[in-house]
């Protein structure tokens, strides 16, 4: 059984027992989280929501909070001899999917 959930404005296909890296969620490490925006539940019978599947919930546990890879961007204005540099790292959370209730 699998489900398509929305978290952080992005859609993810998940199944029970897998881990998922998403944008940082406001929960402590070790706490259980319920993802209620389920767009689709699949398996033997596929249920597609309009826009969400009523009564479907995905239960997950927050395993860790990590930082993503470093991103660098540079802009050079050649006539002004000016350089502009930006750096950043995304704050991410690792979720362990426990169960899908449909």
pLDDT 10s digits, 78-97: 888 899 999 999 999 999 99
Structure letter (DSSP) for residue 38: E
> What is residue 81's predicted lDDT score, i.e. its pLDDT?
86
* Per-residue pLDDT reduced to its tens digit, 21-53: 999 999 999 999 999 999 999 988 899 988 999
Tokens describing residue 89 = 């790292």
Full-model pTM: 0.81
Please give the C-alpha separations between residue 92 and each of 34, 38, 45, in angstroms, as whole numbers.
17, 21, 33
Whether the CB-CB separation of 95 and 61 falls below 8 Å is answered with: yes
The residue-averaged pLDDT of 68-77 equals: 93
């Amino acid at each position: 059984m699998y489900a398509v959930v929305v978290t952080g404005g992005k859609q993810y296909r998940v199944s029970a027992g897998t881990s998922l890296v998403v944008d940082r969620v406001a929960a402590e490490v070790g706490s259980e989280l319920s993802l209620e925006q389920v767009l689709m539940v699949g398996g033997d019978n596929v249920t597609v929501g309009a826009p969400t599947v009523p009564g479907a919930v995905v239960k997950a546990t927050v395993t860790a909070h990590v930082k993503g890879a470093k991103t660098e961007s540079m802009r050079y204005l050649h006539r002004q001899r000016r350089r502009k540099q930006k750096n950043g790292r995304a704050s991410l959370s690792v979720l362990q999917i426990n169960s899908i209730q449909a």
